[in-house]
């Protein structure tokens, strides 16, 4: 097309025609068919259109057959068809139906790959997997990526979940809300060797230690899956993301998260062991990191029973009263650090006794702890619950109502019916004096 011809075609009087034709051709799949109607045509537009098509027009409405205009352009000075002319004047055209079909095919391929990855890794029947995929699909973030990138990310997300679910995974227990059958996770849990770091897990699955860093799409997708498995809300900030990783059995790092202890007197002469023993004998509570635990080989006096609580207030009160019996606080849902310590104590021959809150999340945690370690329920039977409620009511102490989904207590078939009947939650610290009496006993 000559410069002179292009300048004439690109005149302002024809601008509306080319804009409308671009939209029509893109919606037509670049097929030259149908008619285009222009309303409110000005005198300048009517004159330019008449010269372009070789036909006179009257009035303020013009109807043009696209096929006729295509033929006119091919035999005229433009020497090319309508699609080529519009593309030259308005830029490359998109075949919208073809693009839509391509997006649909890419999406189908993406979710087929996700389904196949779940099946091949034994997670397709897990209760969380279907709702998780639907949630990711609705979010739309993957659909905005190149198909190859989106496919790689969703398969990597499944690989992370499969790694956490595997029998050899240090974090498996944290990913099981009730049983392996319900979640697809192996409830055997961390080994005493410790939990994987997030960087280690990311490098294993993605090839880079930063593949699961905060802010990455892969991290967000994986945490949504973890939240569904653990029946927790999706994380909203850095703190909740860290807590969710920890609950899944993955250490974000090995120094910032600790487990609170009191009364632990391990045997041996390793520097970390001696330091813990000296602090314990001095009556101090201790905050142990994963790095601390990695420096210790646990040996305990024969017959050691370790009491496990949920609330740090119990440890504080035990230290104030001079209690000497070993006590570990898991601070709610046990973190990787807490599980690593309890695994090591259990492997060293310690018997565990567990106490938590009498609410549905507390019962779920107790189920996991008792199932994982064969722990003795520590004042956590139906009679204990009923006694706590009666005492609180006698004192006029208000108790919060039970909320959330009912959870069966696996260690006492009478506990859940009792809680359902009374309908109130009892926090661990309400039984503080009874717990301290146990910790003070020889």
What is the tens place of the pLDDT at every residue in 182-210? 333 333 333 334 457 899 999 999 999 99
Instruction: Extract the tokens encoding 236.
Output: 């909203």
Burial class (CB in 10 A: 0-12, 13-18, 19+), 68: middle
Torsion of the alpha carbons at 25, 31, 34 and 38, rounded to the nearest 10: 20
DSSP 211: T
DSSP secondary structure letters along 147-203: HHHHHHHHHHHHHHHHHHHSTT-TTTGGG-SS-HHHHS--TT---TT-PPBHHHHHH
Per-residue confidence (pLDDT) for residue 175, from 0 to 100? 57
Per-residue confidence (pLDDT) for residue 169, from 0 to 100? 38
Q: Domains of the chain by range and CATH? A: 3-94 (no CATH), 97-247 (no CATH), 258-440 (3.40.1360)
User: Which among 277, 328, 322, 281 is positioned nearest to 300, based on CA atoms?
Assistant: 277
Per-residue confidence (pLDDT) for residue 181, from 0 to 100? 31
DSSP secondary structure letters along 63-74: EEEHHHHHHHHH
CB atoms within 10 A of CB 125: 11
Per-residue confidence (pLDDT) for residue 442, from 0 to 100? 63
User: Which among 159, 158, 188, 156 is positioned nearest to 174, based on CA atoms?
Assistant: 188
Angle, in degrees to the nearest 10, between helices 360-373 and 336-347: 30
**Coil, helix or strand for 115?**
helix
| 10-residue averages of pLDDT along the chain (442 residues) | 93 96 96 95 95 92 95 93 96 94 86 93 93 93 90 95 68 40 36 64 93 94 94 85 85 85 96 96 94 93 96 96 96 88 96 97 95 96 97 93 95 98 95 95 75
Burial class (CB in 10 A: 0-12, 13-18, 19+), 90: middle
Q: In which residue are the tokens 């506990």 written?
A: 415
Terminal-residue alpha carbon distance, the chain: 100
Please report, for residues 81, 156, 233, 363, 427, the alpha-carbon distance to residue 380 in angstroms, rounded to integers and kept in the order given.
83, 41, 27, 9, 11
Per-residue confidence (pLDDT) for residue 194, from 0 to 100? 47
Please report, for residues 281, 313, 395, 426, the alpha-carbon distance to residue 284 in angstroms, rounded to integers and kept in the order given.
7, 14, 33, 28
């Amino acid at each position: 097309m000559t410069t002179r011809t292009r300048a004439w075609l690109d005149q302002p009087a024809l601008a509306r025609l080319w804009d409308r034709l671009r939209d029509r051709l893109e919606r037509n799949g670049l097929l030259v068919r149908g008619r285009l109607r222009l309303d409110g045509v000005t005198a300048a537009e009517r004159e330019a259109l008449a010269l372009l098509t070789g036909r006179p027009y009257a009035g303020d409405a013009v109807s043009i057959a696209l096929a006729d205009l295509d033929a006119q352009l091919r035999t005229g000075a433009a020497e090319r068809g309508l699609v080529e002319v519009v593309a030259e004047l308005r830029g490359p055209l998109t075949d919208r139906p073809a693009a839509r079909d391509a997006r649909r095919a890419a999406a189908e391929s993406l979710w087929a790959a996700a389904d196949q990855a779940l099946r091949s890794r034994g997670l397709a029947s897990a209760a969380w997997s279907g709702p998780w995929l639907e949630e990711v699909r609705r979010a739309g973030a993957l659909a905005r990526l190149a198909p190859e990138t989106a496919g790689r990310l969703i398969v990597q997300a499944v690989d992370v979940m499969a790694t956490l679910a595997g029998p050899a995974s240090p974090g498996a227990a944290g990913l099981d809300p009730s049983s392996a059958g319900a979640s697809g996770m192996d409830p055997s849990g961390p080994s005493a060797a410790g939990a994987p770091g997030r960087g280690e897990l990311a490098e294993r699955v993605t090839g880079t230690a930063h593949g699961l860093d905060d802010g990455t799409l892969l991290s967000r997708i994986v945490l949504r899956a973890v939240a569904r498995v653990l029946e927790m809300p999706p994380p909203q900030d850095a703190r909740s993301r860290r807590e969710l990783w920890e609950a899944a059995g993955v250490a974000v790092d090995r120094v910032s998260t600790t487990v609170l202890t009191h009364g632990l007197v391990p045997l041996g002469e390793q520097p970390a062991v001696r330091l813990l023993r000296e602090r314990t004998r001095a009556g101090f509570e201790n905050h142990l990191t994963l790095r601390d635990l990695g420096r210790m080989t646990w040996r305990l006096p024969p017959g050691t029973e370790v009491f496990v609580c949920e609330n740090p207030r119990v440890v504080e009160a035990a230290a104030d009263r001079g209690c000497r019996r070993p006590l570990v606080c898991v601070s709610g849902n046990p973190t990787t650090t807490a599980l690593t310590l309890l695994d090591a104590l259990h492997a060293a021959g310690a018997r565990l006794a567990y106490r938590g809150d009498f609410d549905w999340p507390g019962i779920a945690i107790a189920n996991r702890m008792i199932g994982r370690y064969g722990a003795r329920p520590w004042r956590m039977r139906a009679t204990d619950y009923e006694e706590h409620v009666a005492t609180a009511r006698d004192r006029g102490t208000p108790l919060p109502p039970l909320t959330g989904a009912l959870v069966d207590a696996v260690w006492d078939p009478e506990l859940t019916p009792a809680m359902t009947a009374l309908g109130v939650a009892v926090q661990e610290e309400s039984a503080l004096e009874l717990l301290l009496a146990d910790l003070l006993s020889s």
